[in-house]
């Protein structure tokens, strides 16, 4: 695949780790993704805090995180196959409409005073389904935005997009909830999908058609399963992820309960606590390269 805007491999700027930002399509989609990620974390604060304030049991509060994460487990493999079969830009663009509706519904219900815990959980699950379906396509679209030799840099830059959003979004979400209300957080998250749609519409890139044609769904799923079975390194990464994610998710799921019932914090304090997780992720990204270096050369 290639991009009509991508410079040739002889461009001296391609050696920079920031070179992908020189391409307007990549830059606009990266910024839109940051806005969307920030809106998503703002919504997480609003949704969990709203359920917490309705005096629901801790298990129901934790279900907000479950509703957001479960679709990744259920749809992850299918989403990867769709990203290989369908046009990725079109798939991302079409998904923004339902995501905008799912994000906007809680804003309308909250503003009207008709929201309850289940009115939060159902849209959260729908948004999680949309995110699960979009993520592989969003990651796989990089070769269509930058030259081949910049793909590793583009993948790295895209990979760290979530971390600053995880630091900024919760703190900003807690502030908005404390000053304006939960409905405003839901509305801002809905607007973030319009930002992504605008970036996709204005991006100029064209992918070369696959000479072999699109793969069918079932063969694509079987091929992915076969690859994982025969890739020990991939299996090790999956195993380590399985060890970490449940513990990390439990922390995020119960943090609003601890913030409100144990520490007596308001929405702003809870946002800062959740934002501290993102700050740690950003610091970890900077410290990880040093930690992998040998102590003695």
User: From CA 40, how far away is CA 117, in angstroms rounded?
Assistant: 18
Please report whether residue 189 resides in a domain.
yes
d(CA 187, CA 112): 13
Q: How far apart are CA 142 and CA 20, in angstroms?
A: 10
Q: What is the pLDDT of residue 267?
A: 86
In this prediction the pTM is 0.80
Taking only the tens place, the pLDDT of each residue in 61-118 is: 888 888 988 998 888 888 888 888 888 888 999 999 999 999 999 999 999 999 888 8
Task: Tell me, yes or no, whether 39 lies in a domain.
Answer: yes
What is residue 228's predicted lDDT score, i.e. its pLDDT?
A: 79
Cα angle 99, 268, 253 (rounded to 5 degrees) comes to: 55
Q: Are 47 and 127 in contact (CB under 8 A)?
A: no
How many Å separate Cα 79 from the centre of its chain? Answer: 14
* 11 domain-assigned: no
Question: In the prediction, which pLDDT does 53 show?
Answer: 82
- Maximum CA pair distance of the chain? 65
Tell which phi-psi region holds residue 210, choosing left (phi > 0), alpha (psi between -120 and 50) or beta: beta
pLDDT (0 to 100) of residue 278: 80
Low-confidence residues in the chain, pLDDT < 70: 1-17, 205-215, 285, 288-297
- Quote the distance between the C-alpha of residue 288 and its chain's center: 21
pLDDT score recorded for residue 215 = 67
Indicate whether 80 belongs to any domain. yes
- The answer to whether position 236 is within a domain reads yes
d(CA 2, CA 70) in angstroms, rounded, equals 34
* Phi, psi dihedral angles at 15 (to 5 degrees): -80, -15
Say if 17 falls within a structural domain.
Answer: no
Report yes or no on 78 lying in a domain: yes
Alpha-carbon span 234 to 266, nearest angstrom: 42
Structural domain boundaries, residue 124 = 24-206+216-291
Q: What is the pLDDT of residues 30-60, one digit of tens each?
A: 999 999 999 999 999 999 888 888 777 888 8
Write down the mean pLDDT value for the chain.
Answer: 83
Q: Do the domain assignments include residue 107? A: yes
Q: Half-sphere exposure (CA, 13 Å, Cβ side) for 132?
A: 19
State how far Cα 179 lies from the chain centre.
Answer: 26
* CATH number, domain containing residue 163: 1.20.1250.20
17 — phi, psi (to 5°)? -65, -20
Number of domains in the chain: 1
> What is the DSSP code string of 181-230?
-HHHHHHHHHHHHHHHHHHHHH----PPPPTT-PPPHHHHHHHHHHHHHT
The reported pLDDT for the residue numbered 13 is 47
The number of residues making up the chain comes to 297
Q: Which residues contact 64 (CB under 8 A, 6 or more apart)?
A: 44, 47, 48, 51, 120, 121, 124, 253
């Amino acid at each position: 695949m290639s991009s009509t805007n991508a410079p040739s491999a002889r461009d001296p700027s391609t050696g920079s780790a920031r070179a992908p930002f020189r391409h307007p399509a990549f830059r606009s989609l990266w910024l839109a993704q940051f806005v969307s990620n920030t809106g998503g974390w703002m919504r997480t604060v609003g949704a969990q805090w709203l359920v917490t304030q309705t005096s629901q049991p801790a298990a129901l509060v934790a279900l907000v995180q479950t509703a957001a994460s479960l679709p990744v487990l259920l749809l992850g493999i299918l989403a990867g196959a769709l990203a290989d079969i369908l046009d990725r830009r079109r798939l991302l663009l079409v998904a923004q409409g339902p995501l905008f509706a799912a994000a906007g519904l809680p804003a309308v219900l909250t503003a009207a005073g008709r929201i309850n815990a289940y009115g939060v959980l159902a849209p959260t699950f729908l948004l999680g389904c949309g995110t699960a379906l979009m993520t592989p396509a969003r990651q796989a679209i990089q070769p269509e935005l930058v030259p081949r030799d910049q793909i590793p840099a583009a993948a790295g830059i895209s990979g760290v997009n979530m971390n600053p959003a995880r630091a900024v979004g919760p703190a900003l979400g807690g502030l908005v909830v404390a000053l304006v209300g939960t409905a405003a957080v839901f509305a801002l998250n809905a607007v973030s999908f319009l930002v992504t749609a605008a970036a996709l519409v204005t991006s100029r890139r064209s992918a070369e058609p696959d000479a072999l044609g699109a793969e069918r769904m079932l063969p694509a799923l079987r091929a992915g399963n076969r690859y994982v079975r025969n890739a020990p390194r991939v299996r090790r990464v999956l195993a380590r992820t399985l060890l970490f994610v449940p513990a990390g998710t439990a922390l995020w799921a119960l943090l609003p309960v601890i913030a409100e019932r144990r520490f007596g914090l308001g929405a702003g304090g809870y946002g800062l606590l959740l934002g501290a997780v993102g700050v740690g992720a950003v610091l970890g990204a900077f410290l990880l390269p040093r930690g992998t270096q040998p102590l003695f050369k």
